[in-house]
């Protein structure tokens, strides 16, 4: 059976863990040449082994444009093109309004906003008609979740990027869409919820489907948005949240 991403070159930022890692695995199974990034070498190396299929890991921080440029220099050397970018790397912090300082602002916006811009911008010289960009947003970009206004605003920016970049890139035939997860059962979230059982109960109660999502469920949505199956979908935000944003 033909694989949807046979010989496609796929770049995933923040691919060492969670949604990024789950997505990298599915792309690799579907025949893609997968390159992931991550800040921590040990975790990155473990992820590359877990993905298999010749996946490559490039250590770097998307908040540093030089690291992003180095990533695409390696892709150009090895593959001469990029077919899919999943701009997944992100940072989450709960910071109440009266506690926000410069360090909090820079930590969130450098990764979630600046990092997103340069991850996409520096890929464009390697992308051709039919390529796809998927941005990792969040339902937080559409909700006024308390105590995390910086994070909410950074994800609202991601949603705005998809709208603007769809128009910017339409003449080049490059599609841009957003996948927006709700609460998802990643390792980091699980470690937090294990220490806050009342938070987990409240979170599940807020979800119409009554549970957290799984990273694979988000990953399958990413592959749909990156594939020819969504060839007439552009500038769209696909919520993968058990119904939270819609109901």
Q: Annotated active-site positions, please?
A: 151
List the alpha helices (DSSP H) in the chain. 18-29, 41-51, 65-78, 102-109, 115-121, 149-169, 187-194, 197-205, 215-226
Q: CB-based contacts of 15: which residues, under 8 Å, 6+ apart?
A: 21, 23, 24, 34, 36, 37, 38, 47, 51, 57, 88
Find out whether 239 and 245 touch, Cβ atoms under 8 Å: yes
Pick from 15, 2, 16, 3: which is nearest to 134 by CA? 15
Element (H, E) at 85: strand 84-87
- The string over 189-211, giving b where at least 16 C-beta atoms fall within 10 Å of a residue's C-beta and e elsewhere, is beeebeeeeeebeebeeebeeee
Q: Cα separation of 29 and 23, whole Å?
A: 10
């Amino acid at each position: 059976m033909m694989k949807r991403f046979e010989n496609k070159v796929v770049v995933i930022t923040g691919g060492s863990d969670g949604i990024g890692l789950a997505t990298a695995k599915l792309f690799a199974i579907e025949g893609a040449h997968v390159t992931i990034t991550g800040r921590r070498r040990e975790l990155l190396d473990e992820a590359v082994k877990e993905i298999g299929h010749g996946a490559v890991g490039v250590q770097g921080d998307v908040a540093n444009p030089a690291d992003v440029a180095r990533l695409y220099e390696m892709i150009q050397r090895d593959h001469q093109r990029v077919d899919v970018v999943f701009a997944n790397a992100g940072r989450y912090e709960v910071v109440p309004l009266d506690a926000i300082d410069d360090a909090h602002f820079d930590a969130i916006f450098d990764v979630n906003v600046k990092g997103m811009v340069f991850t996409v911008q520096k890929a464009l010289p390697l992308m051709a008609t039919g390529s796809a960009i998927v941005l990792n947003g969040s339902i937080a970009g559409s909700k006024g979740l308390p105590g995390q206004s910086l994070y909410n605003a950074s994800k609202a920016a991601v949603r705005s990027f998809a709208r603007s970049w769809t128009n910017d890139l339409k003449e080049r035939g490059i599609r841009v869409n957003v996948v927006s997860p709700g609460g998802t059962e990643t390792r980091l979230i699980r470690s937090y919820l294990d220490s806050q059982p009342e938070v987990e109960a409240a979170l599940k109660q807020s979800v119409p489907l009554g549970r957290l999502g799984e990273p694979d469920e988000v990953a399958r949505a990413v592959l749909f948005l990156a594939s020819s199956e969504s060839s007439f979908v552009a500038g769209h935000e696909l919520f993968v949240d058990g119904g939270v944003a819609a109901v």
